[in-house]
Amino acid sequence: MLASLKQLLRYRALVGSLVARELKARYRGSVLGFLWTFVNPLLLLLVYTFVFSVVMPGARAPGLEPYSLFLFCGILPWTWFSSSLLESCTALTGSGSLLRKVMFPAEILPLVTVLTGLVNFCLGLVILAAFTVYSGLPFFTADLVWLPVIVLVQLAWTLGLALLLSALSVHFRDIRDLLGNLMTLWFFATPIVYPYTQAPERFRPLLDLNPFTHIAGAYQDVLFVGGRYSPGSRLALVGVVAVLVLAVGYGVFDRLRDTFAEEV
Amino acid sequence: MSVLAIDVRDVHKVYRRYGRRKNFGTLKSALLGGRVAADLRPDATFEALSGVSFQVEAGRTVGIIGRNGSGKSTLLKLLAGIGRTTSGSLDVTGRVSALIELGAGFHPEISGRENIYINGMMMGLSKRQVAERFDAIVAFAGIGDFIEAPVKTYSSGMYMRLGFSVAIHVDPDVLLVDEVLAVGDEAFTHKCLDRFAELRRKGKTIVLVTHTLDLVTRLCDEVLWLDGGTLRAQGDPKRVVDAYLLDVAAAEDRAAGAAARLAPSAEPAQDMTKVAEGRWGSREAEVTHVELRHADGRAGHVFQSGETVDVVMTVQTPRPLTDFVFGVAVYSADGVCCYGTNTHIEGATPQELTGVGEVIFRFDALDLVEGTYRLDVAVHRADGVPYDYHRLLYAFRVASPLKDVGFFRPKHAWSFSGGIRIVGPGLNRDGK
């Protein structure tokens, strides 16, 4: 496993190029091109603004204004998380010819998926910052120094699960379909469209078990509220578990590595 | 003994074959049945390589030949580091570049330039190394201005050439090539061969899997012959290739024999106008058996071009006849008559046919080019009314080391004079 990691390090330039390729190729042929990376979260933000100010203004929790920005703070990292996991299911199975014909570390494929999501997430943050400032709220608070830590914790979680899912998907193709529904459930089981404080008391222990509750909460505290974030032991615990997940995910991936070329 | 580039010791490779259960069962039943682990185990296995051992010294060019499914590509993939051996050890020294599928990993939406970088880096080059070789790669592929266009707009030839060009510029110590020289036009093939020659001069090791046997004999220092996952022979190219060809011919012989035995089992047609499949006639005289023989009397179905071949027919008649003609004709596989004659055309006068007799038609030299041919044999009346006509019922194959074209190979010789100097094995053959 250590040797595999060392080899991965050798291929880091390739990872960079592949991420750039993914970003470029995704919108190739469209009129706006790379701008879509910005336009997509922008439109998403506008949709939520419309829904919570015109369609159902009563649904928003009190005291969180503008509500669409609060939503956005949770949805941005969630989009990164869920799209990475969903795409990782096909990261290996969709690259059969590559795995069968070219010798290179296969973990690059799910890694690129997750990192591409990270870049999109960062670009989404730019939109978020612009809108926060536009709304007259402070964005650049001292809390922002914690942002990289939260991103790292999420990265470890996402990568660990992506490695696990991509490897298992080679053997069980139905994981993708199962996961699609599971992610919808997970989305609503996480305080994203509602604040944690609004969840009924008796469900809170359950919510606490959900790692993404703490990750989304941290983002909301740092990006939306600002100025009151103190990284509690919870985030540290989530971080430790994240490293464990990453280790297990990579371990499983490494175990199944030899079967990929034959099974994809 | 010099340095070993490839050391393969008793390598087995077993592929898993999953049965129906896996295909329909999937995750749900695996979880319900609590047998995830069981489902990850194969139902049946297929041994693609069973105990292959060989060594290749650095700087040698080695060809791997064998029938389809003999394990050639499996072996090459293992050498390339794709997949792991089931048992046995396999060591390759130095940087390996595998031309197994050209352009695998090209992304259709991005330009040739970007694809060169990504492909090169996948094969283990650094970004700088790709940049250094970039111009050479583009020049070798002959892509020109298309290098900035998305790869999806390339013709399949350009796509392959670019893939080949990247792989060969990786500057490998060991180059593995799987049947890829067929992709380009003549000019590109020559460029590839030049490049191979250059790599050989630089002392690189090349492993070539191909069905183009003359390429093997021309290019390789050594040939491995794989048969059913085991190594049948290793050594001098000419010797191994000939052994392989003999084996293939013997197998073809068996197959052709099986086909020929099946063919002439047509129902006896009493009405001469009634055409049974491939056989018709009044049966006042009957051809009961047809056989092709080598000069030494062995029956066969595969002959070398120029060999002496006898067509032997056994003829039988229930009552004596005085009006009878024997005929033989040879057709190419696509139905063109190459040659036909009969005893009437050649001025023979029939006297009497009674009981059983044997007719032998001898080709002193079967001067046909390589290919599959079919035979008509017949006994009929002088006016053409057939007693028994066998239409294309007998197939035989002509094998030839030369790849000349057409049907007929006349005896010939080349000679040159004046300022022309030319040598070659084909030229000394007929006299010179």
**Phi/psi of residue A28, each to 5°?**
-60, 135
The segments of chain A whose pLDDT lies below 70 read 1, 226-228, 231
Ranges A169-173, B156-160, B210-214, most confident: A169-173
Q: Classify residue B269 as left (phi > 0), alpha (psi -120 to 50) or beta.
A: beta
Contact A172 B16 (CB under 8 A): no
**Structure tokens given for A165:** 């899912």
B323-382 tens-digit pLDDT? 999 999 998 877 778 899 999 999 999 999 999 999 999 999 999 998 888 888 999 888
Contact B104 A172 (CB under 8 A): no
Burial of residue A101, with CB atoms counted within 10 A of its CB: 0-12 exposed, 13-18 middle, 19 or more buried = buried
Mean pLDDT of chain B: 82
- Domains of chain B and any CATH numbers: 4-247 (3.40.50.300), 268-399 (2.70.50.60)
* Model confidence at B183: pLDDT above 80: no
Find the distance separating the first CA and the last CA of chain A, reported in whole Å: 22
List, in sequence order, every residue forming a beta bridge with B96; answer none if it has no partner: B174
pLDDT of residue B267: 40
Q: How many CB pairs under 8 A join A and B?
A: 80
| Set of chain A residues whose Cβ sits within 8 Å of the Cβ of B84 | 258
pLDDT of residue B182: 63
Could you say which DSSP state residue B111 is in?
B
B259-314 tens-digit pLDDT? 655 544 444 433 333 334 578 778 889 999 999 999 898 888 889 899 999 999 99
pLDDT of residue B261: 54
- Preferred mutation among A11, A30, A101 to probe B, highest tally of B CBs within 10 A: A101
CA distance A13 to chain B (A): 7
CA distance A33 to chain B (A): 12
Burial of residue B408, with CB atoms counted within 10 A of its CB: 0-12 exposed, 13-18 middle, 19 or more buried = exposed
pLDDT of residue B273: 33
User: Which chain A residue has its CA at the smallest distance from B127's CA?
Assistant: A13
Contact A13 B127 (CB under 8 A): yes
How far is the CA of A168 from the CAs of A87, B26, B263, in angstroms? 13, 11, 53
| Set of chain B residues whose Cβ sits within 8 Å of the Cβ of A262 | 15-16, 83
How far is the CA of A93 from the CAs of A84, A105, A169, B110, in angstroms? 15, 15, 7, 21
Cα separation, B112 vs B146, in Å, equals: 7
| Set of chain A residues whose Cβ sits within 8 Å of the Cβ of B110 | 21, 24-25, 28
How wide is the angle at C-alpha A97 spanned by C-alphas B56 and B167, nearest 5°?
50
Which A residues in the span 205-264 are in contact with B, Cβ-Cβ below 8 Å?
258, 261-262
User: Which chain A residue has its CA at the smallest distance from B25's CA?
Assistant: A172
Cα separation, A66 vs A77, in Å, equals: 18
CA distance A183 to chain B (A): 18
Contacts of B164 (CB under 8 A, 6+ apart): B99, B102, B141, B180, B183, B184, B192
User: Which chain B residue has its CA at the smallest distance from A104's CA?
Assistant: B122
B71-129 tens-digit pLDDT? 888 898 888 888 788 888 888 888 888 887 777 778 888 888 988 998 888 888 888 99
How far is the CA of B420 from the CAs of A99, B416, B423, B425, in angstroms? 53, 6, 10, 16
Asked if A171 reaches chain B (Cβ–Cβ under 8 Å), the answer is: yes
Cα separation, B10 vs B6, in Å, equals: 13
- Preferred mutation among A18, A22, A23, A103 to probe B, highest tally of B CBs within 10 A: A103
Cα separation, B157 vs B165, in Å, equals: 12
Which B residues in the span 130-189 are in contact with A, Cβ-Cβ below 8 Å?
150
pLDDT of residue B130: 92
Mean pLDDT of chain A: 86
pLDDT of residue B272: 34
* Model confidence at B425: pLDDT above 70: no
CA distance B91 to chain A (A): 15
DSSP line for B170-225: T--SEEEEES-TTSS-HHHHHHHHHHHHHHHHTT-EEEEE-S-HHHHHHH-SEEEE
Give pTM, 2 decimals.
0.68
Cα separation, A7 vs B130, in Å, equals: 19
| Dihedral, B164, B166, B168, B171 alpha carbons, nearest 10 | -170
pLDDT of residue B262: 52
List, in sequence order, every residue forming a beta bridge with B395; answer none if it has no partner: B374
CA distance B311 to chain A (A): 51
Instruction: Please give the radius of gyration of chain A, using alpha carbons only, rounded to the nearest integer.
Output: 19
Higher pLDDT, residue B132 or B384: B132
pLDDT of residue B316: 92
